[in-house]
Structure 1
Amino acid sequence: MPLKNYSLLKGRPINNRLGSGANPHYQVLISDGADQYRIAVNVQSSDGSEVEYLVRSRFDHPITEQLLAFEDGLHRLPSAPGGVALDFIRGNLAQPWEFKPLPLSAPGPDNDLNEKVDSYVQRAMADEASTIYAFGESWGPETKADKIFGFRPGRGIHDIHFNQGNPPGSFAASNGPWQDGGLIFHFPTSSQWSAVFLKFQTQAWHSDDHSGEPIVSPTPVERDRIPPFDAPDGLVRIVAALVNDVNSPEQETVTLLNTADVPVDLSGWTLRDKNKNAMPLSGQIAAGATTVVNVAAPVSLSNRGGIITLVDGNGVKVHGVSYTREQARQPGRTIPFQQ
């Protein structure tokens, strides 16, 4: 079953503790102006392995505009698309190859997970205009004081990481789509958003759209298909999109790049928008070539920001991108994507 109390905590960081000990978590004390909360961030796996991390120093995503509407404090979130719930895969927040494992602590500057998280928390604590948005599973209020910072009643949010794709075992019960954890920082004085996303090495990237369970490994016959079922990520990529056309009627386009050394047949593939509307694709892309796809109903690319996702004939995501209202502001300009 998925998380029981998937939530968003918004507030100001006022204290912190580096992760250490047998079950290390980086801890942040948050104030919403009236109440206090604790954010507990896993900086090492329970089996002792390194956690994979992704830091976006410039986080551009349509979700940021929605986040500004939230008041400080703790908010329960529906685990569903269309709101601010995080899903690394379906929300096109990250690509799997961007995550790198990092130790809890290591000699030298800026080379361990404690330091990566701490650099943004310290910056936020030093800037009174800044805000932290923490996504995960909330707990409390408890009848006792918080065990780290001592405030009463103890309460906060944890599971600040990918919350799907867990293998069978003690963590499989928390699998689910649209309930991933993460830290998003807003620094309005510099007009900057930043994000920290974490993932355990045991978690599969591709998961079922309904259960969040890992997608079953392919048979040997399936592995021989192009693109390979067990490694489809980024084989064909969305490299550009025209979402705000100057013509009438408007004609939106998406440009695809085949990175493989063989042609890729797009039969059975679909292109999807932020509302999960799907448009079937057809034809082939030659090795190393690009093709421009004319977007047609029911898919529509909003000028107010959105996401574009490419899914193969097995229903597995191959690539995805996002764009903001600002990127789509100028009519006739094609938006390039680098991921």
Structure 2
Amino acid sequence: MPLAEYGVLVGRVRDRRREGGKNSPHYQIHVDAAGTQFRVAVNVLSALAPSELLYTADEDFTHPLLPALATVSDGFTALPSTPGGLALDFIRANLFDRTALRTLPADQPGPDNDLADKLDHYIQRAAADPAARLYAFGQRWGPEPSTPDKVFGFSPGNGVHDIHMNQGNTGRFTADDGVWQDGALILAFPDRWVAVFLAFQSQAWHTDDTTGHTLPGIPPADPDGHPAPGEPDRQIRIIAALVNPTGPAPEPETVTLLNTTAGPVDLTGWTLLDRAQHRGPLPSVLLPAGDTARLRVPPLVALGNNGGTLTLLNPAGLKVDGVAYTTAPEGRTLAF
């Protein structure tokens, strides 16, 4: 079943501690959330082989969820696991490009060469800036009135964990599967947002829209989490969209697709999704290899002028590509 209490913790970073060893080490973060103390436990090594985590960081993160996220008060806020709000989903929310993921060792000698070093870079910067805020998405535990925190010693024990992808699991961890409940670290600095995304190599990138379980018949990703031969990812790319045409509504919004494959692709049965997961069919056109097509956005798909997402699904319902945008100047085509 999905995570029991999914949400986002907002607060100021006070301290951090690196854990070594092989017994499921974590990178521990002490957060003060309006006077209530929390520990954020970030996995840096998997309990399942292969053990190294997949990691990517966006040092100038933009996404349509950020304006609403900035209004969340310090403390833990439970979130419904539904689209269109603040809940995260690595597959469906178009938060980052999965080909940017890289494997990193948990902790090893030398500077800037392991996952703990990468986390240190952002967390220590946040701790040094009183204006910075950490947004930790994951599952809450506690409070535990009779048990002080085992790492930082504050009482009562209180915290957030599962700061990673929480779907497409294998073995005993399939019980944690769900959609719109992925974990991440997002940091707000005075001049920008920074986002850190983590996943396990054993997790799948095509999952059931209801359960979050791995879909059958999809080949496993390569060791860096990149699409393997046989996965549909990026075969057709969303390269542009006219979200806010000049003139009164209803406006003729368009999307431009590029066929990256070696052969023609029939778009019959292909669909587009918006941020709320409204789905509309594409016209039945044949897109030659290497060619582009500019198509009308289906009427059921709503593209907001103040930000949104656009996702492309093949006839099997598998995600092929997805983009996000935050602004849409009138008459301007957005390039992705």
Q: Counterpart in 1 of 2:35? A: 34
Q: Counterpart in 1 of 2:45? A: 44
| Partner SS for 1:117 | helix
Separation (CA, whole Å) in 2 of partners of 1:95 and 1:77: 24
Q: Counterpart in 1 of 2:163? A: 160
Separation (CA, whole Å) in 2 of partners of 1:158 and 1:276: 27
Q: Counterpart in 1 of 2:270? A: 269
2:197 is matched by which residue type in structure 1?
Answer: F
2:60 is matched by which residue type in structure 1?
Answer: R
Deviates more, 1:233-242 or 1:244-253: 244-253
1:144 is matched by which residue type in structure 2?
Answer: T
Q: Does 1:6 align with 2:6?
A: yes
Deviates more, 1:242-251 or 1:9-18: 242-251
1:166 is matched by which residue type in structure 2?
Answer: N
Deviation at residue 23 of structure 1 after TM alignment? 1.8
Asked if 2 retains the 8 angstrom alpha-carbon contact of 1:7 and 1:137, the reply is yes
Asked if 2 retains the 8 angstrom alpha-carbon contact of 1:162 and 1:180, the reply is yes
Separation (CA, whole Å) in 1 of partners of 2:310 and 2:257: 11
Any residues of structure 2 matched to 1:252-291 within 5 Å, and which? 252-281=253-282, 282-291=284-293
| 1:42-69 CA-partner distances (Å, limit 9, x unpaired) | 0010136100011111111011111011
| Partner SS for 1:166 | coil
Deviates more, 1:16-25 or 1:301-310: 16-25
Separation (CA, whole Å) in 1 of partners of 2:218 and 2:325: 33
Q: Does 1:313 align with 2:332?
A: no
Deviation at residue 234 of structure 1 after TM alignment? 0.7
| Partner SS for 2:34 | coil
Q: Counterpart in 1 of 2:331? A: 332
Q: Counterpart in 1 of 2:74? A: 72
1:336 is matched by which residue type in structure 2?
Answer: A
Asked if 1 retains the 8 angstrom alpha-carbon contact of 2:236 and 2:260, the reply is yes
Runs of 4+ in 1 over 3 A off after TM superposition: none
Separation (CA, whole Å) in 2 of partners of 1:47 and 1:251: 49
1:297 is matched by which residue type in structure 2?
Answer: P
Q: Does 1:150 align with 2:153?
A: yes
Q: Which runs of 5+ in 1 are unaligned?
A: 220-227
| 1:246-292 CA-partner distances (Å, limit 9, x unpaired) | 13342211111111111111111101111211121121211111111
Q: Counterpart in 2 of 1:127? A: 129
Asked if 2 retains the 8 angstrom alpha-carbon contact of 1:137 and 1:158, the reply is yes
Identity %: 51
Q: RMSD in angstroms over aligned alpha carbons?
A: 1.5
Asked if 2 retains the 8 angstrom alpha-carbon contact of 1:96 and 1:233, the reply is no
| Partner SS for 2:157 | coil
Asked if 2 retains the 8 angstrom alpha-carbon contact of 1:217 and 1:230, the reply is no
Asked if 1 retains the 8 angstrom alpha-carbon contact of 2:281 and 2:298, the reply is no
| 1:123-179 CA-partner distances (Å, limit 9, x unpaired) | 111111110000011000012100000000001000000000012x21010000000
1:55 is matched by which residue type in structure 2?
Answer: A
| Partner SS for 1:80 | coil
2:242 is matched by which residue type in structure 1?
Answer: L
Q: Counterpart in 2 of 1:225? A: none
| Partner SS for 2:262 | coil
Q: Counterpart in 1 of 2:225? A: none
Q: Which runs of 5+ in 2 are unaligned?
A: 220-227
Deviation at residue 229 of structure 1 after TM alignment? 9.0
Q: Counterpart in 1 of 2:214? A: 214
Asked if 2 retains the 8 angstrom alpha-carbon contact of 1:9 and 1:73, the reply is yes
Separation (CA, whole Å) in 2 of partners of 1:177 and 1:34: 32
Asked if 1 retains the 8 angstrom alpha-carbon contact of 2:206 and 2:218, the reply is no
Deviation at residue 19 of structure 1 after TM alignment? 2.7
1:206 is matched by which residue type in structure 2?
Answer: H
| 1:158-214 CA-partner distances (Å, limit 9, x unpaired) | 0000000012x21010000000000001012x2x01100000010011100000000
Asked if 2 retains the 8 angstrom alpha-carbon contact of 1:218 and 1:229, the reply is no
Separation (CA, whole Å) in 1 of partners of 2:186 and 2:55: 14
Asked if 1 retains the 8 angstrom alpha-carbon contact of 2:166 and 2:178, the reply is yes
User: Which of 76, 84, 87 is the matching residue for 1:85?
Assistant: 87
Separation (CA, whole Å) in 2 of partners of 1:304 and 1:176: 28
Q: Counterpart in 2 of 1:224? A: none
Any residues of structure 2 matched to 1:183-202 within 5 Å, and which? 183-188=185-190, 190=191, 192-202=192-202
TM-score, length of structure 2 as denominator length: 0.93
Separation (CA, whole Å) in 2 of partners of 1:239 and 1:196: 25
Deviation at residue 296 of structure 1 after TM alignment? 3.0
Asked if 2 retains the 8 angstrom alpha-carbon contact of 1:235 and 1:260, the reply is yes
Separation (CA, whole Å) in 2 of partners of 1:173 and 1:47: 15
Q: Counterpart in 2 of 1:248? A: 248
